[in-house]
Amino acid sequence: MNGISLSRRSFLFNATCLAALGAQARIVQAELRLGPSARITTVSDGYLSLPPDVVFGAMPKEEVEQFLTRNQTDATKYEPECNVTLYRDDENTVLFDAGAGPDFMPTSGKLMETFEVIGLSPESVTHVVFTHAHPDHIWGVLDDFDDLLFPNATHLIGRKEWDYWWNPSTVDTIGEDRTAFAAGAKRRLEAIEDQVAFFEDGQEILPGIAARASFGHTPGHMAFELRNGNESVMVVGDALGNPHVAFEHPDWHSGTDQDPQVAAAARYSLLDQVSEEEMRIIGFHLPNGGIGRVEKTGSAYRFIGEAS
């Protein structure tokens, strides 16, 4: 059984090598060091292509149109990057989220192409840590053959997030436009059930990596504080989902958030912390690899990217 699984996985990996040569998707990378031995790289899973109303539809129409124009943002399309955070130290190779995999949308699910470019094999990943269980973050745990893509990894997820998606009533209560999210999440959770570990808010899940609640985008969404001595980075997942509105108007409700009011409170809390502590952040959908800093400007905030 294991021999068959590895053979299939090798076939898929070799196939993505060829795809990577002709792919039009951006292989965005940004990198930073954390202490003497830890290295953090953002690797691309492609990008999403969504109707802008999915994000901006619940916001004040005239104000958001003026805001997007002022920020030179095309209001006719929404194509955010998907940045998977890769953390490596002397002992661990850790992915924060697994990308979308082959079944979500054609512009995403490019992680294996990126792995080939940087010379990393899925078998070398020791841990996969989830911010939440939306499709572009968890569907990538399975390959084209429905085998586990990271067979040697422990998969870590917040207990609250797991319980929400595992609950059989979620598919009936999440709303018609998200039923596929619920069914898809449950199938992936079932696949990793034998290799999963749970954590709570504030828990150190690995040496120097602590969970930080940022509920609202999903009921159990988590950010992660990575720290080495005086140096720190916050992996924010989708709690800060774009580089403009989420920072300048964190109170505006996003259509991608399952509980917009709770998500807005989480944005304020994260923005206050990272700006006050001058902490770098890594955002799954922030531009140019997603790494940057946050500057407070009066009652608002500003994202300052640090693409390398």
What CATH number should be reported for the domain holding residue 204?
3.60.15.10
Three-state secondary structure call for residue 7: helix
pLDDT of amino acid 274: 98
Residue range 111-133: average pLDDT?
A: 96
Domain count, the chain: 1
With beta carbons less than 8 A apart as the criterion, state whether 267 and 246 touch: yes
Q: Which residues does residue 155 pair with via DSSP β-bridges, in sequence order? A: 128, 196
Q: Which residues does residue 86 pair with via DSSP β-bridges, in sequence order? A: 41, 95
pLDDT of amino acid 233: 98
Residue range 94-119: average pLDDT?
A: 96
What is the value of pTM for the model shown?
0.90
Distance CA 273, CA 11 (A): 45
Q: Which residues does residue 81 pair with via DSSP β-bridges, in sequence order? A: 47
| Nearest of 161, 256, 164 to residue 199 by alpha carbon | 161
Distance CA 168, CA 232 (A): 38
Amino acid identity at 254: S
Q: Which residues does residue 142 pair with via DSSP β-bridges, in sequence order? A: 148
pLDDT of amino acid 250: 96
Least confident of 28-32, 62-66, 127-131: 28-32
- Helix 159-166 / helix 179-192 crossing angle, nearest 10 deg: 120
pLDDT of amino acid 27: 65
pLDDT of amino acid 28: 56
| Nearest of 253, 306, 34, 284 to residue 294 by alpha carbon | 306
Least confident of 2-6, 169-173, 186-190: 2-6
pLDDT of amino acid 70: 85
Least confident of 9-18, 127-136, 243-252, 295-304: 9-18
Q: What are phi and psi of 30, to 5 degrees?
A: -135, 150
- Judged against a pLDDT cut of 60, whether residue 9 lies above it is answered with no
- Judged against a pLDDT cut of 80, whether residue 219 lies above it is answered with yes
Q: Which residues does residue 34 pair with via DSSP β-bridges, in sequence order? A: 38
Q: Based on the number of CB atoms within 10 Å of its own CB, is 73 exposed (0-12), middle (13-18) or buried (19 or more)? A: middle
Per-residue pLDDT band for 34 (boundaries 50, 70, 90) equals very high
Per-residue pLDDT band for 17 (boundaries 50, 70, 90) equals very low
Per-residue pLDDT band for 26 (boundaries 50, 70, 90) equals low
- Judged against a pLDDT cut of 80, whether residue 223 lies above it is answered with yes
* Average pLDDT along the chain: 90
Over pLDDT 70: what percentage of the chain?
A: 90
Amino acid identity at 108: S
Over pLDDT 90: what percentage of the chain?
A: 81
Residue range 213-232: average pLDDT?
A: 96
Residue range 166-170: average pLDDT?
A: 97
Per-residue pLDDT band for 31 (boundaries 50, 70, 90) equals confident
Per-residue pLDDT band for 43 (boundaries 50, 70, 90) equals very high
Domain ranges, residue 24: 2-305
pLDDT of amino acid 21: 34
Per-residue pLDDT band for 38 (boundaries 50, 70, 90) equals very high
Q: In this structure, what token pair is assigned to residue 46?
A: 């492609």
Distance CA 176, CA 184 (A): 14
| Nearest of 4, 38, 29 to residue 151 by alpha carbon | 4
pLDDT of amino acid 72: 75
- The angle formed by the CA atoms of residues 155, 161 and 164, to the nearest 5 degrees, is 125
